[in-house]
Structure 1
Amino acid sequence: MPVVIVLAAGRGTRFRASGGTGSKLQADLYGKPVLTHVLAAVERSGLAVHVVHRACGDGMSDSIAEGVRATPTASGWLVLPGDLPLVSGESISRVAAALAHNPVVVPVFEGRKGHPVGFGRVCFEELAALSGEAGAVSVVRRHQAEGRVLQLKVDDAGILTDIDTLEDLQRLRGLVDVHGDRL
């Protein structure tokens, strides 16, 4: 069964530079920390989760590699940044299900690629060796060049709705609860 790797090791420098205080993942959104919304979506998906709070290196790639190495028996991995509080459990489940027939799955909403990006077991060595800031872009590109990436259409703007700045957080706070149990 795939494991969802939630990336929560970032420094949040853009958030603080925009006037935010503390960690964006601990910022209040509808009475709960942002990260709590993400973890609730993973729980609704029924998948196991591994949260990377600290990585050996400074970049997103380091966090992904750490999460993959910590879950070496998983059948695959869904990489989900901890700052996407509106992502749905259904989207997570659909990406995981698509991994049964595809080595890499990228969810797409209205033509835009989002998260979580799913990677099959065949990607273990590549993911475990990642380092730096680029995330797993190199793995996706390699499989894309081989025609082995599924772009999975989902009806979920939450795969794109991240919080990088205080303005992003305030925009989400201003939304009317039209997302059901996601908030």
Structure 2
Amino acid sequence: MKTPPTIIVLGAGQGSRYTGARHKLAEPFDGDDSVFTCTVRHALASGLPVLVVTTSRFAEEAAGLVATRDIVVLGERDGVAPGGMGDSIAAGVAARPGAGGWLVLPADMPLVRPATMAAVAAGLGPHPVAYAQYQGRRGHPVAFGGELFSELVRLGGDEGARRILARFPAQAVEVGDPGVLLDMDTEADFAALKDRLLATKAPTPQA
């Protein structure tokens, strides 16, 4: 049986553009669940293996959701994880070298649906890269095939995997999920996420 891809939830960013009273991932989002928890829960609901890359700030919260072996805690300096998204991706991939690929999902995207993650994972095969697309616009998660291991573990800095995306053919997976475009860099982004969440829970008008 083919080994499934692993979802790598990236939760080690500084969130420096967010000016709220707390870290953006700690913001209450859906009931008692934070942005961070909602994203991880949706990843788990996809049925795919999940690995969380985070800092000590969210390690305890992560441990309430996944096994300790499924958490990578990046070292911190002055309360901030060194490096950028590239370092987080590399750490996650290196921790799961035998996976059948890796889906990269930023932890500030709590509305990405579990079915979307499964669809993007299924898009790997003919192409070494697959990504979620909504109404023609590229979003997350982005999936990478196992053959790109050596490329991914050498990533570093804030650029993430852009160079890999530019070099290798990719499969767009069109989904009916606007959450693939909605991340949370600013307080305005957070308000938009909350509005979208409320819209999804609103009762459907009866004809």
Normalising by structure 1, we get a TM-score of 0.89
The one of 4, 11, 16 equivalent to 2:14 is 11
Name which structure has the greater RCO, CA cutoff 8 Å, separation 6+: 1
Give, in angstroms, the shift of residue 172 of structure 1.
Answer: 2.4
The one of 72, 88, 93 equivalent to 2:97 is 72
Q: 5+ unaligned residues in a row in structure 2: which ranges?
A: 56-73, 76-81, 202-207
Q: Take 1:81 and 1:58, find their aligned partners in 2: how far apart are those partners?
A: 15
The one of 123, 127, 148 equivalent to 1:102 is 127
Normalising by structure 2, we get a TM-score of 0.79
Alignment partner of 1:160 is 2:181: yes
Residues 81/11 of structure 1: CA separation in 2 closer, same or farther (3 Å cut): same
Question: Which SS does the other structure have where 1:116 is aligned?
Answer: strand
Residues 72/176 of structure 1: CA separation in 2 closer, same or farther (3 Å cut): closer
The one of 156, 163, 166 equivalent to 1:141 is 166
Identity of aligned pairs, percent? 42
Report if the CA contact (8 A) 2:111-2:197 is conserved.
no
After the TM superposition, which of the residue ranges 83-92 and 28-37 deviates more from structure 2?
A: 28-37
Q: Which amino acid aligns with 2:47?
A: G
Question: Which SS does the other structure have where 1:13 is aligned?
Answer: coil
2:36 aligns with 35
Alignment partner of 1:173 is 2:200: no
CA shift digits 1:107-159 (9 cap, x unpaired): 1111211000000001100000001110001111110xxxx211111111000
Across the two proteins, how many residue pairs are aligned to each other?
Answer: 173
Alignment partner of 1:87 is 2:107: no
Report if the CA contact (8 A) 2:111-2:179 is conserved.
yes
Alignment partner of 1:51 is 2:76: no
The one of 116, 120, 142 equivalent to 1:117 is 142
Query: If you compute each CA radius of gyration, which structure gives the higher value, 1 or 2?
Result: 2
Q: Which amino acid aligns with 2:21?
A: T
CA RMSD of aligned residues (A): 1.4
Q: 5+ unaligned residues in a row in structure 1: which ranges?
A: none
